[in-house]
Each structure stands twice: as structure tokens, then as C-alpha cells.
Amino acid sequence: MKPLSARANIRGFTLLDTLVVLFVLFIVAAMLMPTLAGSHRAPGQKCMSNLRQIEVGFYMYWDDNGRKFPMQVSVTNGGTMEFINSGHTFSHFQKVLGNQHDPRFLVCPLDKTRKAATNFQTLTDLNLSYFLNADVVTTGDPAHSILAGDRLLQVNGLPVKPGLFLLTTNLNLGWTPKLHGGFGNLAFADGHVEMIRSTNLKKVLQNQPLATNRLCVP
């Protein structure tokens, strides 16, 4: 990465700078909040924190690579585009977040079928609780474009299987009740994270800038 001062001289205060500031403010606020231990919302809040860390990592890559995410860049140019059709998700997270020391934030505390990896070199899909949208967009309407979210989705009451999932706006999409009791978390391309009720998920989907999105589901 170029030093912040160098980038600032070129194009001023970047989206990455804003995300980093917001992330730091979030951490400070979390330290000042009363403990949420014993609350049913605590695991959901933890997932929101996890997704914010994921967002910061992906936007650091975006800022250094022509404002493109790794899914939009060929492997020969340092991206992960060719891995999309493999049905695996971990390659994208490994590429972007592999310089971090602790991959535990990639697993939801309530996702008992997933176990955190000890390091990013051994990361697999079984160490992930979050899907990734290969077709996320950062122009036009990023506030409605999904970047990542809780992996336990269902269509017409049936769980979405791991692999590449074609998401269209006419699907009856919801959350399985296994993690957050009818709620789930989504991270959007403008940098914000929302906890969304299962009954509202279809409406969120219909607001996507693209009619079809490829989700990499671990």
C-alpha cells in the first residue's frame, strides 16, 4: 500500500480512510458499551463486528487494486477471479486477509459446525461462517449492494448448499433459524453492516443493483 499521505495528495480522503476511521470508532464504542453477555443479541453483534473487519480488509485490497475486489481481478494480476467457479470461498478471504494473524473473526460464535482456523495458510471453507458476493458493485448504488453475510441462507424453507449460488431477485430468500433466531447479518458495499429479519430479506434482495449475483457460500 502507498502511504496515506501519498494517496491523499492524489485523490483526497478515500473511501478506505473513511472505513478505517469508522472501524476504529466502532472498536472504541464497543469497549465503552456495557457487556452483552447473556443477551440473545450478543452473538449477532459479534457477527456484525466480524463482518466489519472483513469489509475493511476487502476495501484495503480494493483501494490498492484499481478499485476492484479480488473476485474482479485475474489470478495472474493478483486476484481470485478464476476461483469463483471452483465452488470454494476460502481462496478469496485468504487472498485479502492472509496478512492478519488471527482468523477467528471468520467464524460466528453460534456456528457450531464451523471451527476457526489456527492460521490463514490452513484456511478452508469449514473455517468460514460468511458468504461472499462475487458480483458486488461499488458504483451507482453501493448502499444496497451486498458484499458478504451470514452463510445460513434458505430458499423456500430449504437451506442453501455450500458452493456457488445464483441469487436472483425473485427468490423467496430467508435465514435458517439455526444461528440468530430469524435474523441475519449483511455487509454492504458502502461500508455499513445491518442485522436483518428473515421476513425482510427478500425486500433487501430486490433492492440489489444487479438482478443476478453469484454468492460464494462456504
Which whole number is the average pLDDT over 163-174? 94
Please give the share of the chain, as a percent, with pLDDT higher than 90.
71
Q: In the prediction, which pLDDT does 167 show?
A: 95
* 41 φ/ψ sector (left φ>0, alpha ψ -120 to 50, else beta): alpha
State mean pLDDT over 134-156: 95
pLDDT, average across residues 112-127: 95
23 or 152, greater pLDDT: 152
Residue 42 has pLDDT above 80, yes or no: no
Query: Residue 12 has what pLDDT?
Result: 59
Higher-confidence residue of 12 and 129: namely 129
Backbone angles phi, psi at 89, to 5 degrees: -110, -30
43-92 per-position pLDDT tens digit:
678 899 999 999 999 999 999 999 999 999 999 999 999 999 999 999 99
Of the candidates 2, 44, 22, the one whose C-alpha atom is nearest the C-alpha of residue 181 is 44
- 34: Cβ contacts below 8 Å, ≥ 6 apart: none
Q: How many residues comprise the chain?
A: 218
SS3 180: coil
Confidence of residue 24 (pLDDT cuts 50, 70, 90): low
Rounded average pLDDT over 160-189: 93
Instruction: Give residue limits of the domains in the chain.
Output: 4-217
Name the pLDDT band for 189 (thresholds 50, 70, 90): very high
